[in-house]
Amino acid sequence: MIRVYFDWNIITELKKPDGGKHAGIKGLIEKHRAALLTPFSNYHVEDLIKNNKTKERLDTFVKRDLEYLEELSQNHFLGEDAKGNVLAQIGSPLKFLDTIEEDEACIEELLDMENILSSFDALDLGEDQIKLSDVFKNIYKLQPVPEDIKEMPSAPLVAKFFPNLDQAENYWDIIKDFGNFNKSLFSDKNFLKEYRLGVQEVSLELEANPGTWETDNVIENITKGLHTKGIKTTFSELIESSLKYQKNVTRSLHFCTAYLMLDFYGYQSDKLPKPTNSFQNITNDAHHSFLAAHCDILVSEDKALIAKSKVLYKEYSVNTLVLTAKEFEEQIEGLIHYPIGNPNDAFQHAIEFLNNDNFLESARNEGENILLRDIFKLPMFYFNYFNYLIYEKVEEGLSMLTFRKVYKNYSDFVYYTENIQLLKKLFECLGQPNDNLSYDEVEKELVFSQNTELKNIIWSFDEVHFIIRREIKESKLCLIIVVNNKNSETPPVDT
């Protein structure tokens, strides 16, 4: 299946009965439901509940929208846990209702360090209990101010936005000052805009408006701007520097930090036009972009999100396609492999991919006992699953076409439903395998079995043999088509 991550600005239209201004996309989803996998994330839910936390709105608007998310995603969840680990699971968005509390604490309260530590005091530690908040505070107070932080207050920008930093006597004073800064950042968008502008004035000397930069030049231009201002660092080094005090730098944290850096350094900065917009909108967009990097396509109408995603996908070699709603409508049917009626059609479609337009490289190693090995990038998803083809001419009269699902993005998983959908299509097209296994038996073996032994399911049609097998490491399936003109009854699938 083709994974498509829809930004919330697309879903808000799709949830309307007629699909709103994205009726065309809604029609395409309905038409190609079996070919498209459209996951929801915890950041979709956050976008939804941000301003809908009263009981009345939770029971009406939120529940209704979560029901549509359930329909759209077919319960495919793609999200992150508190540690930044990516979760690909099957589960209903409605389960989030149980985790949402009416009038939940606002972000400013959650960033108040005094409140955070005081929450530990509610723990029952017995008759002789002590205040854990005091314990933690005293630990931090015993730690001196790091040398590099002592030098920071001399910078005008730091002095303006961290007014108490020069008076810090210990690490607890620093924590409080940074906590106050973060509260202002999330609660006051004018503070955010002023700070963002201050960062740009102090750090960058730019030759042109960043909004006009080409995607390929953005990172280089920011680095040049830093150098012109006398800051001898690169954009990448800037990110690493900002994360040096983090104990666990996950891929998510690194990516989202880079996204926020682009915003703060003036590249397609979010204008936050709505009264309720805040820094949380930008951080949520960063996570949307990160999670979409585990999909084949990201679809959004947010120009800032699109632009920053394209820059970071290029920088981190993420091959996720970034499209507007209009571009998605125009291009998606060209990526879908339409239903195949019989084995001959499947074979003919397969060999049509062997052309110069799709050719990537030859990969035959010196000394290999093989005549030819060429790799092709497919212009569509074969059986709406495979995106790469390896053609091997083993010897005269014997060739193999191996179709694989190759991740050129952050994904390292498949939903089991993706494998099920592929097997259903293969059975529709090829019928029953050689050994008369039923569909249920094949599904059990290739999708749900924990067996680590290589298992081949084979369909034979004269000189052409179709073999489906599971790649044990990532539970993906690969399809091998063997063309054997040597009159051998059994195709050499272990070659």
Q: pLDDT per position in the chain (495 positions), as tens?
A: 999 999 999 999 999 999 999 999 999 999 999 999 999 999 998 888 776 666 666 667 788 899 999 999 999 999 888 777 888 999 999 888 776 554 444 545 544 555 554 544 444 445 555 554 555 555 545 555 555 555 554 455 555 556 666 666 565 566 666 666 677 777 778 888 888 888 777 777 766 677 788 899 999 988 988 888 888 889 999 899 888 877 788 999 999 999 999 998 888 888 888 877 888 899 999 999 999 999 999 999 999 999 999 999 999 999 999 999 999 999 999 999 976 789 999 999 999 999 999 999 988 777 677 788 899 999 999 999 999 999 998 888 899 999 999 999 999 899 999 999 999 999 999 999 998 899 999 999 999 987 777 789 999 998 999 999 988 777 899 999 999 876 655 444 443
Contact between 471 and 447 under an 8 Å Cβ cutoff? The reply is no
Phi, psi of 103 (to 5 degrees): 55, 40
Half-sphere exposure (Cβ direction) of 362: Cα atoms closer than 13 Å: 7
Give SS3 for 259: helix
Q: Tokens 């846990």, residue? A: 81
Cα separation, 175 vs 187, whole angstroms: 18
Helices (H) and strands (E) in the chain, counts: 21, 13
Element (H, E) at 66: helix 63-73
pTM: 0.84
Contact between 178 and 266 under an 8 Å Cβ cutoff? The reply is no
- pLDDT score at 395: 85
- pLDDT score at 78: 94
Q: Which two tokens stand for residue 402?
A: 């191996």
Q: Which of 195, 200, 227 has its CA nearest to residue 211? A: 200
- pLDDT score at 123: 46
Q: Which of 454, 123, 116, 76 has its CA nearest to residue 291? A: 76
Specify the amino acid at residue 269: S
**How many other C-beta atoms are found inside a 10 Å radius of the C-beta of residue 227?**
14
Calculated CA dihedral for residues 373, 379, 384, 388, nearest 10 degrees: 20
Contact between 322 and 298 under an 8 Å Cβ cutoff? The reply is yes
Which residues 6+ apart lie within 8 Å of 482 measured at CB?
Answer: 398, 399, 400, 401, 464, 465, 467, 491, 492, 493
Instruction: Calculate ∠ Cα 100-5-329, nearest 5°.
Output: 130
Instruction: Calculate ∠ Cα 145-149-150, nearest 5°.
Output: 70
Cα separation, 400 vs 210, whole angstroms: 49
State the DSSP code for 207. Answer: S
Cα separation, 18 vs 15, whole angstroms: 8
Q: Which of 220, 216, 418, 411 has its CA nearest to residue 319? A: 411
Instruction: Give alpha helix (H) positions in 204-318.
Output: 218-228, 235-242, 251-264, 279-292, 303-315
